[in-house]
Amino acid sequence: GAVVSQHPSRVICKSGTSVKIECRSLDFQATTMFWYRQFPKKSLMLMATSNEGSKATYEQGVEKDKFLINHASLTLSTLTVTSAHPEDSSFYICSARDIGGPSDTQYFGPGTRLTVL
Amino acid sequence: DQQVKQNSPSLSVQEGRISILNCDYTNSMFDYFLWYKKYPAEGPTFLISISSIKDKNEDGRFTVFLNKSAKHLSLHIVPSQPGDSAVYFCAASAHAGGTSYGKLTFGQGTILTVHP
The answer to whether the beta carbons of residues B99 and B66 sit under 8 Å apart is no
Comparing alpha-carbon positions, the chain A residue that sits nearest to B34 is: A105
Q: Is the pLDDT of residue B84 over 80?
A: yes
Task: Give the residue numbers in B contacting A (CB under 8 Å), as ranges.
Answer: 32, 34, 36, 41-46, 49, 89, 93, 95, 99, 102-109
The band of A104, judged by pLDDT with boundaries at 50, 70 and 90, is: low
The C-alpha atoms of residue B46 and residue B49 are separated, in whole angstroms, by: 8
Q: Label each residue of A11-80 as H, E or C.
A: EEECCCCCEEEEEEECCCCCCEEEEEEECCCCCEEEEEEEECCCCCEECCCCCCCCEEEEEEECCEEEEE
pLDDT, position A1: 64
Whether residue B89 and residue A113 make contact (CB cut-off 8 A), yes or no, is: no
Q: Pick from A32, A57, A107: which is nearest to B46 by CB?
A: A107
pLDDT, position B98: 46
Q: Is the pLDDT of residue B97 over 70?
A: no
Q: Pick from B43, B102, B104: which is nearest to A110 by CB?
A: B43
Whether residue A44 and residue B89 make contact (CB cut-off 8 A), yes or no, is: yes
The band of A19, judged by pLDDT with boundaries at 50, 70 and 90, is: very high
The band of A103, judged by pLDDT with boundaries at 50, 70 and 90, is: low
Residues of B32-61 as b/e, b for ≥16 C-beta within 10 angstroms? bbbbbbbeeebbbebbbbbebeeeebeeee
Q: What is the mean pLDDT of residues B43-57?
A: 93
The C-alpha atoms of residue B102 and residue B116 are separated, in whole angstroms, by: 38
pLDDT, position A98: 77
DSSP string, B5-43: E---SEEEEETTS-EEEEEEE--TT--EEEEEEE-TTS-
Q: Is the pLDDT of residue B91 over 70?
A: yes
pLDDT, position A52: 83
The C-alpha atoms of residue B82 and residue A12 are separated, in whole angstroms, by: 34
The band of A39, judged by pLDDT with boundaries at 50, 70 and 90, is: confident
The answer to whether the beta carbons of residues B13 and B112 sit under 8 Å apart is yes
The C-alpha atoms of residue A26 and residue B88 are separated, in whole angstroms, by: 25
The C-alpha atoms of residue A10 and residue B7 are separated, in whole angstroms, by: 32
